[in-house]
Amino acid sequence: MSKNKWPVWKRDDGTTVSCTEKIKVMKENLDEINQLMQDAFEDGVIMEVSDQQIRDVFHDIVNQLNNPYKNKK
C-alpha cells in the first residue's frame, strides 16, 4: 500500500482526469518509481555519495524527460 498521496491529475486544459483505470496506473507507476528512487538514493548514501548530489541527478533526469506525444494530436 502506498504511503504517498498523489495529486489529482489534470490535463493540459486544466480538466481533471477522472478515469479510475488511468488514475490507478499513474498511482502504481509512481509508487514503483518512488521505491526505485529510494533504493537508488540509499545505495548512493551507503557508497558515501553526497545526498544532495544524488537529488540533483534525480532532478536532472526528470528535467530531461521527453514527451514523445507532444504535437501529435
Q: What is the pLDDT of residues 30-56, one digit of tens each?
A: 999 999 999 999 999 999 999 999 999
In the chain, the largest separation of any two C-alpha atoms, in whole Å, equals 46
**Over 50: is that where the pLDDT of 19 sits?**
yes
Question: Do the domain assignments include residue 11?
Answer: no
Question: Do the domain assignments include residue 55?
Answer: yes
Per the structure block, which three cell numbers stand in for 24?
490507478
Segments forming the whole domain that contains residue 34: 20-64
**Over 90: is that where the pLDDT of 66 sits?**
yes
Question: Do the domain assignments include residue 14?
Answer: no
**Over 90: is that where the pLDDT of 60 sits?**
yes
Domain count, the chain: 1
- Cell 490535463, located at residue: 11
Question: Do the domain assignments include residue 24?
Answer: yes
Question: Do the domain assignments include residue 69?
Answer: no
Question: Do the domain assignments include residue 54?
Answer: yes
CB 22 within 8 A of CB 10: no
pLDDT at 1: 46
Rg (CA), the chain: 16
Q: What is the pTM of this model?
A: 0.81
